[in-house]
Amino acid sequence: MTDQTRPLSDSELPTFDRPVEIIENPYANANRNYTTQTHLFNEAIINKYNRSGPRYTSYPTALEFVPIADGMEARVLAEKDPRVPVSLYFHIPFCRHLCYYCGCNKIITKKNSDSGDYLEYLFSEIRHKRSLMQGDPIVEQVHFGGGTPTFLTDDELVKLWNFLQTQFTFSDKPTADYSIEIDPRELRPTTLEILRGLGFNRVSFGVQDLQEKVQIAVNRVQSEEMIQGVMTEARRLGFHSINIDLIYGLPHQTVDSMRNTVERIIDISPDRLSVFNYAHLPERFKGQRQINEADLPSPADKLTMLGNTIHALTDAGYQYIGIDHFAKPDDELAIAQREGKLHRNFQGYTTHGNCDLLGFGVSSISQIGLHILQNPTDLNDYQNLINAGKLPAVKVISARLPDLLRRYVIMNLLCHDYIDFKDVNARFSIDPMTYFIDEIRQLGEMQADKLVDMDAKGIRVLPKGRLLGRNVAMVFDTYLASKEGNRFSKVI
């Protein structure tokens, strides 16, 4: 019997309470030069460890969802600690155009009435959930995702935002984060101005690639002039942070064309960048069947694209945050990482990991205390539950006490490249070197390859291992061994 599977003694059980605030944060490292940490790009090492694994937006991961029991969502909402602030997520599942690379659960439509009807379902869900919650938790973060949230008309965006103000109290602190994903092709002349006037302070939009041939192949054609215009207008209006998404590995991309795209994006100068690996899985995602596999770059070229992109961004001063994400050093995300305050959840890397996450709409996910709940991924199923006056969650993960310990370890490794044994002992009343003896042994090969360093103080991911942080995290995942590798994306 391994340490991972044996029963825990009373002295080894992690504490149930939320982690206490520690004055001296062991994960703060303001002197670390994060902008040079990824220059040790080693193709042989990446190929050696490049296996499929979760992205760890939660632990346990979404593969551990089970059907929810009747009445459980109501109990979770009623027992939510009102002192814990909240992050609100709204899933808008509509798009006017199908991007062939995308694996999202979207509804392709051109009927504005569909989005108007959808708003009424959102309002019903919001009212129902809010009626069960105690007190008046403060909203510190809001994100509109999708799909294409700007599929909603300007009037509908205003209507939704104003309704939220009747249900929740919003923080007016400078650190409050109110963001929305946009499609530059779907913006009306006044949309950005209206969003900024409502209080949105961060915007994200997908570029993916600037080459027209690539854009045509993935059915997302948008000129560089359009993208530059959106950036200029967002900056004029005072959005605090602007994110751009890129994808490497798309059809017709070459090493040179990707290098050119990255150089032009650096000139546009977004505050944050997400650089994703395209995973071609046409058997799972219908849209990808429109892509000719023969047009895709080779795995070797993809790896070269990644290496060139990392070098270009870090040379330009961007800080590598982790798992595909980069930010300028003065961006809140980069500052939070250096101060040891970065978190990771279903919204990705975030500065508001102290919040309970409340998700609304089809396929949305909530994370409240020990529980992760998901709404139906089918719009008709979602609407039928709302029409029946029921709460919409259909799946749940309820973390066990040992899960909280492993979640803490995994998230600190992915956010701060470090796990401090003294800190873990103080928070969870265990001896980490004894409890994780099997995991420490498994990391021996990575230590020999200088990806990690381990001693009596803790485990640190070294610069050479930062791109493979997910591999380090996987060692601590007790659920992973029973999962099929092809259900995950590859690390690179």
Task: For the chain, report the end-to-end CA distance as a whole number of angstroms.
Answer: 33
* Local structure of 26: helix, strand or coil: coil
On whether 263 is known to bind a ligand per the annotation, the reply is no
On whether 435 is known to bind a ligand per the annotation, the reply is no
CA distance 146 to 207: 15
User: Please, are residues 478 and 432 in contact by the beta-carbon 8 Å criterion?
Assistant: no
On whether 116 is known to bind a ligand per the annotation, the reply is no
On whether 337 is known to bind a ligand per the annotation, the reply is no
* Local structure of 230: helix, strand or coil: helix
Q: How far is CA 124 from the centre of its chain?
A: 27
- Smallest CA-to-CA distance from 315 within 30, 41, 38 is with 38
On whether 245 is known to bind a ligand per the annotation, the reply is yes
User: Please, are residues 209 and 254 in contact by the beta-carbon 8 Å criterion?
Assistant: no
CA distance 454 to 442: 12
Strand partners, 365: 374
On whether 368 is known to bind a ligand per the annotation, the reply is no
On whether 148 is known to bind a ligand per the annotation, the reply is yes
Strands (E), 101-176: 107-108, 138-146, 169-170
On whether 103 is known to bind a ligand per the annotation, the reply is yes
User: Please, are residues 262 and 308 in contact by the beta-carbon 8 Å criterion?
Assistant: yes
On whether 145 is known to bind a ligand per the annotation, the reply is no
On whether 89 is known to bind a ligand per the annotation, the reply is yes
On whether 147 is known to bind a ligand per the annotation, the reply is yes
On whether 444 is known to bind a ligand per the annotation, the reply is no
Identify the residue whose tokens are 């529980």: 371
On whether 197 is known to bind a ligand per the annotation, the reply is no
Strand order across the 418-420 sheet: 418-420, 458-461, 452-454
- Smallest CA-to-CA distance from 379 within 109, 111, 126, 107 is with 107
Identify the residue whose tokens are 């690379």: 101
- What count of other Cβ atoms lies within 10 Å of the Cβ of residue 238? 8
- Smallest CA-to-CA distance from 388 within 133, 128, 131 is with 128
Amino acid at 459: I
Q: Helix axis angle, 191-198 relative to 154-167, nearest 10°?
A: 10
On whether 465 is known to bind a ligand per the annotation, the reply is no
CB burial of 140-174 (b: ≥16 within 10 Å; e: otherwise) equals: bbbbbbbbbbbbbebebbeebbeebeeebebbeee
User: Which residues, at least 6 apart from 300, have a Cβ–Cβ distance to it below 8 Å?
Assistant: none
CA distances from 135 to 132, 255, 299, 320 (A): 10, 55, 53, 39
Percent helix / strand / coil, the chain, rounded to 5: 40, 20, 40
On whether 209 is known to bind a ligand per the annotation, the reply is no
| Binding-site residue positions for S-adenosyl-L-methionine | 89, 101-103, 146-148, 181, 208, 220, 245, 279, 365
| Binding-site residue positions | 89, 95, 99, 101-103, 146-148, 181, 208, 220, 245, 279, 365
| Binding-site residue positions for [4Fe-4S] cluster | 95, 99, 102
